[in-house]
Amino acid sequence: MPFTTPRKILFGDCDPAGIVYTPRISYFVIEAIHEFLSHRLGGEGLRKLFAMGVMPPARALSIEFLAPMAWDDLIHVQVSSGPLGSTSFSFAVEARGAGGEVCFRASMTQVCVCPESKQPVALPDALREALRND
């Protein structure tokens, strides 16, 4: 069963015309990924990553805008894990509106970085296992 989280479009997410302000969609993507990680890791996702000894900066973020979203709309954001590298992990994200239309698609790749050296480190086994078999 795919992981899906609801997101209501707030007034502050919108431009003066009442349509979602484009940069806010990156927040929707990141928030949904954090919820997905929390679900998969069995606790607050970012804290679990930090406890594994890694920081997860983004290496790449791509968003394709497909349908407008407006104040008070409810979207459902689906997240799945993507390819796992030796030091990186990625996600595929898709949001649908109330009518089932795809509002946006996104992908994001993050890298495991050592907090002290700021250099890439191997993907922790616990993270690899949590993101496997999606």
- pTM for the full model? 0.93
Contact yes or no for 4/78 (Cβ under 8 A) = yes
Q: What mean pLDDT comes out for the span 13-28?
A: 94
d(CA 60, CA 111): 9
pLDDT at 44 exceeding the cut of 70 = yes
Per DSSP, the three-state class of 106 is strand
d(CA 34, CA 28): 10
Q: What is the pLDDT of residues 46-63, one digit of tens each?
A: 999 999 999 999 999 999
Percent of the residues in the chain that have a pLDDT greater than 90, as a whole number: 95
Cα distances (angstroms) measured from residue 103 to each of 10, 108, 133? 16, 17, 26
Provide the greatest CA pair distance for the chain.
Answer: 48
3-131: which CATH architecture?
A: Roll (3.10)
Q: What mean pLDDT comes out for the span 93-103?
A: 97
Other Cβ atoms closer than 10 A to 15: 10
Q: What is the pLDDT of residues 74-83, one digit of tens each?
A: 999 999 999 9
